[in-house]
């Protein structure tokens, strides 16, 4: 008897590959978001610890204020980048979740197919046993053998 193959097996393999790729992308996005958050925190920490001396020439004061303004802008940009990276990481993770759900659905179909094959094999075995038993009961026996009891 020819065994039926799971016709969606190539699709299942493709889904598994997509899920692995999505998992790798989610990990990379999470790492990028963590790095962006770390850099933003470093900028903010450096900015909060900056102090101006009590006395300084006017030119140095203006240069220091411009430098602090630039540092504040850099810190704000870094925080915006960290927020955007975190949002993107969440979107990539959602894509990974969707890929995993599609894979799981096909795996359930494959398992259902395997169960159907096992059931079909059991039914065929039972049918063969029934045919053997009913075939013996219907054949005439040789003399001296016991007759099967029938109602």
User: Does residue 31 sit within a domain?
Assistant: yes
| Residue 151: both structure tokens together | 């109602």
- Is 6 a residue whose pLDDT tops 70? yes
Structural domain count, the chain: 1
Q: Kindly report, residue by residue over 97-144, the tens digit of the pLDDT.
A: 999 999 999 999 999 999 999 999 999 999 888 888 887 655 665 655
For residues 139 and 36, which has the higher predicted lDDT (pLDDT)? 36
Provide the pLDDT for residue 41: 92
Q: Looking at residue 90, what is its pLDDT?
A: 95
**Predicted local distance difference test score (pLDDT) of residue 138:** 58
Domain assignment of residue 41, given as a range: 9-105
pLDDT of residue 7: 84
Query: Does residue 130 form part of some domain?
Result: no
35, part of any domain:
yes
Label residue 18 by pLDDT band (50, 70, 90). Answer: very high
Residue 25 lies in a domain: yes
pLDDT in tens, 39-88: 999 888 888 888 877 888 888 888 888 888 888 898 999 999 999 999 99
For residue 149, being part of any structural domain is answered with no
Given this model, what pLDDT does residue 149 score? 62
Long-range CB contacts (within 8 A, 24+) of 65-72: 71/43, 71/46, 71/47, 72/47
Asked if residue 119 is part of any domain, the answer here is no
Q: Which residue pairs, CB below 8 angstroms and at least 24 apart, start in 110-119? A: 110/6, 110/8, 110/9, 110/12, 113/4, 113/6, 114/6, 117/3, 117/4
| Residue of 84, 72, 100 whose CA lies nearest to 32 | 84
């Amino acid at each position: 008897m020819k065994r039926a193959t799971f016709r969606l097996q190539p699709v299942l393999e493709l889904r598994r590959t997509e899920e692995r790729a999505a998992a790798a992308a989610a990990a990379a996005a999470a790492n990028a978001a963590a790095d962006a958050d770390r850099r933003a925190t470093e900028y903010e920490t450096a900015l909060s610890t900056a102090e101006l001396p009590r006395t300084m020439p006017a030119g140095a004061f203006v240069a220091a204020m411009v430098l602090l303004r630039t540092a504040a802008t850099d810190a704000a940009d870094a925080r915006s980048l960290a927020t955007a990276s975190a949002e993107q990481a969440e979107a990539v993770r959602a894509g990974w979740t969707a890929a995993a759900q599609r894979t799981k659905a096909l795996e359930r179909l494959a398992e259902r197919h395997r169960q159907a094959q096992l059931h079909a094999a059991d039914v065929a075995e039972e049918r063969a046993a029934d045919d053997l038993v009913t075939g013996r009961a219907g054949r005439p026996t040789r003399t001296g053998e016991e007759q099967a009891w029938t109602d």
